[in-house]
Structure 1
Amino acid sequence: MTGLAVFAVGCLLFWPSGIKRSFGGFCGSMFVVGSGLATLETAADPFLSICGPPRYSEIRLNLAQAVQGVGSFMAPLLAARVFFANTGTNVDGLRNVQWVYLGVAAFDGLLIVLFFLAPMPEITDADMHVQENEIGEYDPGPFRKQTNLFLAVMSQFCYVGAQVAVANYFINFCVETGRDKATSSDLFAAAQGLYAFNRFLASGLLAIPAFKPRYLLTAYLALCFVFIVAAMNTGGTTSIAMLCLVLCFESCCFATIFTLGLRGLGRHTKMGGSLLVAAISGGMVFPPMAGAVVDARNAHVAMAIPMMGYVLAFIYPLYVNIYKRDVMDTHRDTKVGIEPVVAEDKALHLEAQPSRVEKEHAGRPEVQIVEK
């Protein structure tokens, strides 16, 4: 709710910025909006991952990201052809912008009320520790030893950086092949549509036991690398098609890296989720590097930057497939949160175990107290 509230405040700030016709005000308002969205994602992604049966965490987050992908596809179209269709450089166009953001703020306020009234569960570190014991019956150890998490953060940083770099220079790439900017924008919208569709497809595949999340992540990242290399070394329509396929297979990578990175963390889950969200900052690092190559050479050569991002991100799926298969598959196969009897049987099993005091006295001769 805090993230939604900050986002709503940012949208409301567009109104006075429009009245004053202040470019600085618009930039400040956009910064507040971005802060609200960052706060929201920091809370929402870990919550979706851990709130529910652990075996379905990838499916939950991928479905949520699929809905977000639909929004990414529809938002530019609605903005260009509906909300801001008649927006120009005059006062009437500016007023149209103000009303749109006011409507967004009102809808956001409604969401805050709904979340306040909804019985949303609070998940503590102790809850996550108990759940890990029910699944794997082991202690994750100190935070500094969570190699799986740290590699996931690195992979997420590189993957998101590569994803944003490809999206930022997609239109430049298409223009180099002879398309005009309008056609290039439509092609980018189509690629975004493939991106959203493949997220729904990946969610369906993850529901099939044979398609383990670690397998799907490995395959999708490998295909991203293959198609971006093909896009760099071809021209015309073929290169555009290859780059569209890169966006298509980027689909499930973010959500799957996120959920696999949280596996087995127990009481460290919240901290791990925060670090994985912070890894999105890779989207700030890679595009400037790609932009420098575009200025020096061209967009085709610049795709070498996201290509290296995919190579570095691929280290993590290799790690989980070689060294962490047991942890990943145990969480995938667990019945915790699905069969209610599991928790009851666990409690009965713990009650049936001898206590520490009973173990200490086991084997000792029984001492009888005789009254004199």
Structure 2
Amino acid sequence: MAGITNSAKAPAAAGVTSGGGNYLGPLMTVTMLFFMWGFITCLNDILIPKLQQVFTLQNWQAMLIQTAFFGAYFIVSLLYFLVSVTKGDPILRIGYRNGIIVGLVVTAVGCLLFLPAADLHSYGLFLGALFVLASGITVLQITANPYVSILGPPESSSSRMNLTQALNSLGTTIAPVLGGYLIFDQVSGGDATAESVKMPYVGLAVALLVIAVIIKVARLPRLTGGDTAIVPGSGALRHRHLVLGIICIFMYVGGEVAVGSMLINYLKLPQIAGLDESEAKHYLAFYWGGAMVGRFFGAVALAQLRSISLKYGIMAAIALVTFGAVYAIYDLNQALIILGLIAANFVVLLLGRFIPNRTVGLYAAAVIGLLLIGTFAQGSVAMWAVIAIGLFNSIMFPTIFDLAIKGLGTHTSQGSSLLVMAIVGGAIVPPLQGALADVTGDVQLSFVVPLLCYLYIVYYGFSGYKTRAVA
């Protein structure tokens, strides 16, 4: 990628070149980050109903958890952008690896702040802890996403992005079950206290600091910018596809988070499933697990493999493994439903002809159809329609991100910071959905809000992604 150089001279970067080389080890190391921030992000969906109980909050107040979390994405990314405009890109100065370590340490500090928040029984302090935590994850997003895109041939960057995001989705799949068990099923002191949130977040802080040490000592290529690349200015905004991609990331994250945040309350509705929080968490895992399976599909579909039959064979194996896992953990009926949803996802993937932008547009159109079913139908049909959205969300974030930073050259990190800033959609759209649910008294009808977000994603997938300069 133009303007990005591998500055490592030591053996740590041996075998790495600008156009090829052995990137497997570094890529596997970096995927740990994607797993961790996926796990942490999805824990918000468990925190919302938990803190809603503890502090007796209305829907819109509970959704401030997402506002604090994703608001940090906007503020930290905006500050990063302003620094890069006036002083030059800071990540290109310190290197992607050092940027990753900074992000891990800040995230760990945010996790540890949950201890005083629980002890003082302060909702405001919980929101502050989430803001600090998410600030660290923002730095990780700014550094790790373009780092993965650079680590290998440009033609397979979408595949790599989907692979690492699949590990992100593994974290979001495990979080509802493990987090729900620790926070709801192992409650210390009853529903009126927040004691049960302490142990999960202290454990996360320890894990994050261990990963920071691993990243520090690992044999990773130290990718930085050359002397001529570190210049001030806002050149990234001259690229139309990036500007439209920023809006698209806003819409995607807002829609995805809004659906996930409202899902437990949706499944509690008597006309949908009538589940309690402990039961609903398993279906929340299906929602995020669908994104994981879909991203593994996307990584294979967009990869440069030797033959199309090899692609089909690997995707069939992924489907069978998923079927077996659901059957082993739950039952045959749910396993068959999941297999049917995977088959529908595969049909849409074929219609996309493995072309990244086309597939994004078709997946967004499929989500619109599922949201309409979830809004106006009832019972198991409506329930599984909303759960299936996770499967079709799968490739959207990594593929949109990759499409938006293509051709940015020396402005790649700056463009990345702007895209991460757009993740603030997760802070704005969920409270809007919560407010609509409060005003109308209809949780189902509130899903019209994320539906509007996916309409824009359809546009970007079929037109907005095209690279041309802003006039």
What TM-score do the two structures reach when normalised by structure 1?
0.75
Task: Choose which of 42, 62, 70 in structure 1 pairs with 2:142.
Answer: 42
Alignment map for 1:311-330 (pairs within 5 Å): 311-319=455-463, 323-324=466-467
CA contact (8 A) 1:195 1:248 kept: yes
Q: Give the unaligned 5+ runs of structure 2.
A: 1-100, 306-352
Q: CA deviation at 1:62?
A: 1.1
Match of 1:200 in 2: 296
Deviates more, 1:11-20 or 1:149-158: 11-20
Alignment map for 1:63-102 (pairs within 5 Å): 63-82=163-182, 85-89=185-189, 97-102=197-202
Q: Give the unaligned 5+ runs of structure 1.
A: 130-140, 326-372
Match of 1:285 in 2: 428
Q: 1:100 to 1:195 in 2, by over 3 A?
A: closer
* Partner-residue secondary structure (3-state), 2:168: helix
CA contact (8 A) 1:159 1:254 kept: yes
* Partner-residue secondary structure (3-state), 1:264: coil
Q: CA deviation at 1:158?
A: 0.9
- Distance in structure 2 (CA, Å) of the matches to 1:99 and 1:165: 26
Between Structure 1 and Structure 2, how many residues are aligned? 311
Match of 1:5 in 2: 105
Q: For 1:197-237, what per-residue CA distance to the aligned partner results, in whole angstroms no more than 9, with x for missing partners?
A: 11111211112675121222122112112221232232222
- Distance in structure 2 (CA, Å) of the matches to 1:256 and 1:122: 25
- Bigger radius of gyration, 1 or 2? 1
CA contact (8 A) 2:373 2:385 kept: yes
Match of 2:312 in 1: none
* Partner-residue secondary structure (3-state), 1:52: coil
- Distance in structure 2 (CA, Å) of the matches to 1:226 and 1:127: 50
Paired amino acid for 2:297: L
Paired amino acid for 1:301: L
Q: 1:284 to 1:266 in 2, by over 3 A?
A: same
Match of 1:260 in 2: 403
Alignment map for 1:267-278 (pairs within 5 Å): 267-278=410-421
Q: 1:166 to 1:54 in 2, by over 3 A?
A: same
Paired amino acid for 1:318: F
CA contact (8 A) 2:260 2:287 kept: no
Q: For 1:22-54, what per-residue CA distance to the aligned partner results, in whole angstroms no more than 9, with x for missing partners?
A: 665544333322222222222111211222211
Paired amino acid for 1:265: L
Q: 1:100 to 1:290 in 2, by over 3 A?
A: closer
- Distance in structure 2 (CA, Å) of the matches to 1:224 and 1:76: 22
Alignment map for 1:195-274 (pairs within 5 Å): 195-207=291-303, 211-274=354-417
Query: How large is the RMSD of aligned CA atoms in angstroms?
Result: 2.8
CA contact (8 A) 2:288 2:390 kept: yes
- Distance in structure 2 (CA, Å) of the matches to 1:70 and 1:142: 35
Q: 1:184 to 1:212 in 2, by over 3 A?
A: same
Match of 1:138 in 2: none
Match of 2:274 in 1: 180
- Distance in structure 2 (CA, Å) of the matches to 1:245 and 1:95: 33
> Percent sequence identity over matched residues?
32
Match of 2:132 in 1: 32
CA contact (8 A) 1:155 1:315 kept: no
Q: CA deviation at 1:144?
A: 4.0
Match of 2:18 in 1: none
Paired amino acid for 2:209: G
Q: For 1:299-323, what per-residue CA distance to the aligned partner results, in whole angstroms no more than 9, with x for missing partners?
A: 22211111110111222112257x4
CA contact (8 A) 1:220 1:250 kept: yes
